[in-house]
């Protein structure tokens, strides 16, 4: 099990940028696939982005591709989500997630919440229009 703590959320105007950070604990951090999800008010949690344990492969929801970038620094036990050209519909609580049990392999998907078994507390992002 790994502990995750998100930070970097806040209020930004449409067209602006924010960078979210996820700090992870554990000596085996580099072995975990990581993902970002978000939950908007009154809506279900949705996939945003994912990155392989090595950082060599990245994946994005169609709604954010071209605007958001996921990255990781395994030496620092950190995962990042750079959010550019933000839109009001990006307003949500953003969660960092880790697959510590090879669930991505079981479900064959990086965009299902069931593929991750460790979650952070979330950080609020509000985009004003």
- Residue 9 confidence (pLDDT) above 70: yes
Kindly report, residue by residue over 88-124, the tens digit of the pLDDT: 999 999 999 999 998 999 999 999 999 999 999 999 9
Cα within 13 Å of Cα(4), Cβ side: 29
E-assigned strand segments in 14-73: 18-24, 33-39, 46-51, 58-60, 68-73
What's the pLDDT score for residue 27? 63
- Residue 28 confidence (pLDDT) above 70: no
- Average pLDDT value over all residues in the chain: 94
| Percent of the residues in the chain that have a pLDDT greater than 70, as a whole number | 97
Going from the C-alpha of 35 to that of each of 45, 112, 115, the distances in angstroms are 13, 10, 10
Q: How far apart are CA 77 and CA 60, in angstroms?
A: 21
Report the 10 Å Cβ neighbour count for 14: 13
């Amino acid at each position: 099990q790994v502990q995750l703590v998100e930070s970097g959320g806040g209020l930004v105007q449409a067209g602006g940028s924010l960078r979210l950070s996820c700090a992870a604990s554990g000596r085996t951090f580099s072995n975990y696939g990581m993902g970002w999800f978000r939950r908007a008010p009154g809506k279900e949690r949705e996939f945003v982005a994912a990155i392989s344990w090595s950082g060599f492969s990245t994946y994005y929801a169609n709604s954010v591709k071209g605007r958001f970038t996921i990255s990781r620094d395994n030496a620092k036990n950190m995962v990042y989500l750079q959010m550019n050209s933000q839109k009001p519909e990006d307003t949500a609580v953003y969660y960092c997630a880790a697959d510590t049990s090879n669930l991505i392999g079981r479900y064959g998907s990086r965009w299902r919440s069931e593929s991750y078994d460790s979650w952070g507390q979330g950080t609020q992002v509000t985009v004003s229009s």
